[in-house]
Each structure stands twice: as structure tokens, then as C-alpha cells.
Chain A
């Protein structure tokens, strides 16, 4: 069964280009040019993934996101313009899965979609407990972290921070989400905690902290742990 994608985008040229590109990849694509059309299609077509352009003429997308979240856990990828930072962050905090900044390449889009679909259902199903990328191995259940075969000792806060990123590996996690999940809801304004512990994590897990290859920064938005290597079939 092919995966159904709902594409909400008001620009016809971009909409058609993306539709064609996604169809080539084997997705079934439903397109909507406005939020109201998108809401109707979301109820009717039961998409597996939603691509939502911000800056549609009839609203800012938070109502669509809320109604989607009520009935399904289908991942939502935001497509934002360069200067729509605040709206994008608000929707990520509200439960959107990831974002792309216009202009983006089809390769980037497909990669983000793959990650999002892999995480599909993890809101309900047991969370990811393993992460392996390059020489880094994280076993959340056993509280074990190893780099190139050698165990790495993390403080409890460092481990909680890494664990939060592992659970969303490959996807952006906003500052607010990280602060709330690791330190607690009352700390969401303490971005400097994040900087400090991210620096410590990088010092332990990156070959060159000035050029991180695993713990990536999304400026102004949050952090992203690179996508894990494909799990060996068990």
C-alpha cells in the first residue's frame, strides 16, 4: 500500500513540482491550495504525512495542526519562508515534526519525509531506545553511551538531553521542547542551560566540537541529532 501525502501549498508552480517529484517516489499525493481545503482533505483522505506551507492566505496553520493532531499522529512537515521564524517555532512547539526553509531541494524534502515517517506512531508506540550513527552507540534502556567502542560517561543532565534528541533522531527538537523535557516546564526561558550542556555533550561526543557532525544546531530553532544508521534487521 502506498503512503498518502497531503500537500498544502498555495503556489501552483511549487505545488505541481513537489507533487510530481513525490509521485515519482511512489507516494500518493493529495494537493490543497488553502487551509480550508487542507482541513477537508485531511479528514477525508487520512494522510500518512502532511506537508504544510506556512503563510497561506487563509490562516497560519495552527488550527489545521490542532485538528490533525486530534485524529491522527501523522507527521507534519512545515514549509516556511526565511523570515517566518516565530510562526514556525510556535507550530513546532505545538507538535509539528520538522520544517524546511524555502527554497529547499527535493533531496532535502525526501530525507526529512523519510525520517518523519520512521518516527510515525512513536507518539503512541514504545519510544526509540537505540541509536547508532557512525561510532556513536546510545542504549537508552541500559543508560549506556559508547563512542568508537569506548564507554562515555555522561552526567545525568547530559544523558537526559542526549536521550531527548535520540528519541527524535533526525528531527529538529526546539529549544523549548528540550528545556521542558530535560529541565522542566519552568525552565523554558533558560536557553543558556542548553548551550552549556550541549557544549559539554559535544566535547564528549564530537571529534571537533567546532564542527559538530552529530549534534547539529538549527539556529534560532533548536538542535537535531543526525539520523541514525539503518538498524540491522533483527
Chain B
């Protein structure tokens, strides 16, 4: 890309006349003179004069204007000396011949003038085209790349080629402008650096021809985007102007166009970053609001029951019989336990979401974890059918026991709440299938039920905070949702480098499966029996 852009660099000064061009002009002259002298005799003086004018006109196509005019003048003098009678002298015998010479000189001058003008226009057109092409290529490069800063070198090279001297750039890395968030490309001394900063902050060009600091030996051109507050630019370029090269307004305008194009690209990037940040912020806010709404909702349901039962005990206590009082108290205890679990899960989710969370990992046996969870589940749901199955010879798990029991507690609780009272719930631990033979085996902890299952549309979203699944049969959503329960489970699985998935079972029901990666087992106990 850089090569291609350098290639498109147009010559700004009139091109130096090449040897081939000199030769072309000389050939034109030689050809016309060969005809003039060779045909001397068969053709008359007027025809010969026309041939000379033709040669001079052709030579003007190649030669620089001064050389072409000098060549023409020399040709008229030589024509006079060699062919106009009396031959061999510059004297002219007849007034008709004097007129012919004058017409020759006039025609040559006009033709050379016209040709030179045409050549100038063609050169200007080529220059404009090359500059437009250069702008287009830079624009495309900037558009295709997400990061304009990666193309700063291209801009630097193009400007250096334009100015004929090394160029320094000062570019904003981030917006709004901060002193630390700039990149300097190319070398600039202290004074030049101050100039760059000035140009960047003012957003206006400086240097010869700009009307500001015309005494400088360089141009400072701002990289302007759209209008910014305070008029600051997104960068500035310093173009040193070596003496002896022509630096006109058109050149500066082109350099400024290149700079502005870069500035616009930078601004586009900053705008995109700002938009992305705003979107992320809005999404975060939306998640937070959804979380707060859902937490309030999930807390209010058990709170309503507690308040109702407690106030009934308070106001009507004397009129209730002992069985009614016991039932109310029991409901308060039950709903308070539900609230406690909800609070645990919410706190745990917040903890796991925080950066730098440290797990209290130790070697744990699946038997220990499952035993604890089963015991708690039986206390909570004495009437339910619960089964635990552990594959024999399971490896130890290197995990946080509190977190993994919380995960299994939630999954079992979830299964119990969303399945009919007579549906069994099963806790299963087995080695993960597959994996390389030499790697330590992973472990899958699954909680399986024979409930209505989860609708396919909900399977992916059920682990998101406060999503409430619709059962596959299209039944109304359950009164109490999983709240943060499943979200915490997934966060716990991921904190252990594992994953939590939901699989629909054949013949109905769901299987929530926590996949934990294998860990190299510790050395077996030694010296003890």
C-alpha cells in the first residue's frame, strides 16, 4: 500500500527535461532541415519556410519553452543566411523575402507559445489527477482499516514526498484530547514540537502563505475532523520547506486535503469508540435495571407471605387455634429460608462478577459434595423422590466446596420447584467422556428431572440473570422464578474453568450438567494404612 501510494506521487515542479525529450526536439529540427536542404531547388523558398516552421513547432513539443524559442530564432537566422538570396549573408535582397522571414518568425513564436501553453495545461491536468488519485488511495486505505493510526506512516511518506523533506506528525490517540494520549511520528525539535501542539490546539495552519507566522521555514497543517469544541484539530503535520523547491498554495492545499482526510478518519474512529462505549454503558444500565427490578420482584413474593403470616399472628393470634398458628409460623420459616437462599445467590453472583475473585480451592470428593447437597435437599423437601448416583472411583475435584455445593443446591432446588411433586430428581456424577487419554479426566455433575422440560427458545437464555423459563408444554411460567439461581450456577461453573449446560432428555425432562475440567490428582497418601 505504501509503495503504491508513493508511486502515485506526482512531480510538483515542471518535470526536468530528459535526454529523450532533448533528442526528440533535435530530431524534429534535423528532419525539417534535412528536407529543407535536400529539396532545395525543386521547391521554392515559401515551402522551405513552412518546413522550418513545422520543425520548430514539433521541437516545441519536447523542448522547454526558452530552448524552443531560441531554437526558432536561430532557425530563422540560419534560413536567412543559407537560403534567402543573396545566400551566404544576412542581407535580404527583396522586400518579399523580408516579409517571408518576418512571417516565419511570427508563426514560429505563436506556434511555440501555443504548444507551451498546451503542455502546461496537460501537466496541470496530470498533476490534479495524480493528487486526486493520491487522496482517493489514502481515503480507501483509511476506510478499510479500523485504525487510522496504522496508516500514519503512509500520510507521513506522502507529505514528505510533497514537501521534499522529512515530515513530523502529532496525532491524537484518544478523544477528548489529553496530553498523554498523543503519538509523535517522525522527529521534531522542541520548537517544532511547540508548533505542532499549537497547530493541534488551534486547528489552523501556520507558515508561509497561510497568513499566520509567514516567517517560518515550515508549514504546520492541522488534521481537521468535523468541527470540534474549541476548534482543536485531531493532529498536526509539520512540513519542512527546503529552499530551492517551489511551495505554492496549490501544493499546500493538497497537503492540507491529505491531512484533513486523515483527521476525518481519526474523528470517525473516535466517534465510533464513543458510540460503542455509550451502547455498552446503556446495555450495562439496562442489565442493572432488569436485575434490580427482578430482585425486587423475587424478594417481594416471599416477603408478602411473611408479612401476611406474621401480621396475622400479631393481630389475630388469640383467636387462631394452635394448628393455624403453627401453620402460619411454618410458612414464615419456609419463606424466610427461601429469601435467605435468594440473598445468598444474589451476593454470590455479585462476588463472582467482581474482578479478581479468588476461589478457596481444595481437594474435594464428589461424595462429600453430593452427600451435603442431598442432606439439605431432603430437609427442604421431605416428601420428594431424590436419588444420588456416583460412578465408582471418581477423581478428586480441585474446587471451592462452598461454591460447588451452592451450585448443586440451586440445581436441585430448581428441579424440585419446576417439576410435579411425584417426579423424581436425580443427582449424577460421572467421568466426562472423551478427552485425550493422558489428560486427567474431567467430571460431569448432572441434576436430572422428569419434569415438563424447558422450551427450546428458552434453553440458551435460561442462564441469564432473572430469566424465567416457559415450560415446554406451554404452561404458565412458575410463580417463583429461578431468579439469580441459574446465573450463579453458571458463574460458579465458569469460575472453575468449566461450563454449565442444559440438555433436554429423551422421554422428557431436563438435565442440567456442570462440566468441570480434569485436574492432575495429588500424590496418594503414603506411609499410612
Contact = CB atoms under 8 A, between A and B. Distances in A.
Contacts of B524: 196
B15 to A, nearest CB: 80
Contacts of A212: 367, 371, 375
Nearest to A208: B388
Contacts of B364: 191, 195, 219
A216 B371 contact: yes
Contacts of A195: 363-365, 368, 396
A202 B367 contact: yes
Interface string B384-415: 00001110000010001110110000000000
From DSSP, what is the main secondary structure of chain A's interface residues? mixed
Contacts of A157: 525, 528-529
Interface in B44-103: none
Contacts of B37: none
B372 A217 contact: yes
B333 interface: yes
Interface in A181-218: 183, 190-193, 195-199, 202, 208-212, 216-218
Contacts of B362: 175, 191, 220
Interface residues of B, number: 35
B371 A217 contact: yes
A71 interface: no
Interface string B491-529: 000000000000000000000000000000110110011
A219 B407 CA distance: 13
Contacts of A155: 529
Contacts of B360: 85-86, 220
Contacts of B367: 199, 202, 209-210, 212
B374 A211 contact: yes
Contacts of A230: none
A83 interface: yes
A183 B524 CA distance: 14
Contact of B528 (A193, A216, A219): A193
A interface, size bucket = 20 to 34
A86 B359 CA distance: 12
A218 B405 CA distance: 10
Given A85-B360, A192-B522, A103 B371 contact: no
Contacts of B372: 216-219
A44 interface: no
A103 B336 contact: yes
B461 interface: no
A196 to B, nearest CB: 6
A60 B322 CA distance: 43
A56 to B, nearest CB: 20
A218 B362 CA distance: 13
Contact of A220 (B365, B370, B402, B529): B402
A127 B67 CA distance: 124
A114 B360 CA distance: 31
Nearest to A155: B529
Contacts of A196: 524-525
A105 interface: yes
Contact of A210 (B370, B396, B528): B370
A216 B369 contact: no
Contacts of A126: none
A135 interface: no
Contacts of A82: 344, 347
Interface in B342-371: 344, 347, 351, 360, 362-365, 367-371
Contact of B368 (A83, A193, A198): A198
B30 interface: no
B340 interface: yes
Given A195-B368, A217-B369, A220-B402, A83 B528 contact: no
A191 B374 CA distance: 22
Given A155-B529, A157-B529, A195-B365, A210 B371 contact: yes
A156 B371 contact: no
A210 B388 contact: yes
Nearest to A203: B367
Contact of A83 (B351, B375, B401, B521): B351
Given A105-B333, A190-B525, A219 B363 contact: no
Contacts of B405: 219
A212 B373 CA distance: 11
Residue among B336, B364, B371 with the most chain A CB within 10 A? B371
Nearest to B333: A105
Contacts of B375: 211-212, 216
Contacts of B369: 217, 219
A191 B363 contact: yes
A198 B521 CA distance: 17
Nearest to A211: B374
Nearest to B398: A192
Contacts of A219: 364, 368-369, 372, 401-402, 404-405
Interface string A163-189: 000000000000100000001000000
Contacts of A198: 365, 368
Nearest to B386: A211
A83 B344 CA distance: 9
Contacts of A199: 365, 367
Residue among A193, A202, A208, A217 with the most chain B CB within 10 A? A217
The 10 closest A-B pairs by CB, nearest first: A219-B401, A192-B363, A217-B368, A195-B365, A210-B388, A220-B401, A193-B525, A220-B402, A157-B528, A192-B522
18 contacts: A82-B344, A85-B360, A103-B336, A157-B529, A190-B525, A192-B525, A196-B525, A197-B525, A197-B528, A198-B365, A208-B388, A210-B370, A210-B388, A211-B374, A212-B371, A217-B371, A217-B372, A219-B368
Given A103-B340, A212-B371, A217-B371, 15 more contacts: A82-B347, A83-B351, A85-B360, A103-B337, A155-B529, A190-B522, A191-B362, A192-B396, A192-B521, A193-B528, A195-B396, A211-B374, A211-B388, A216-B375, A220-B401
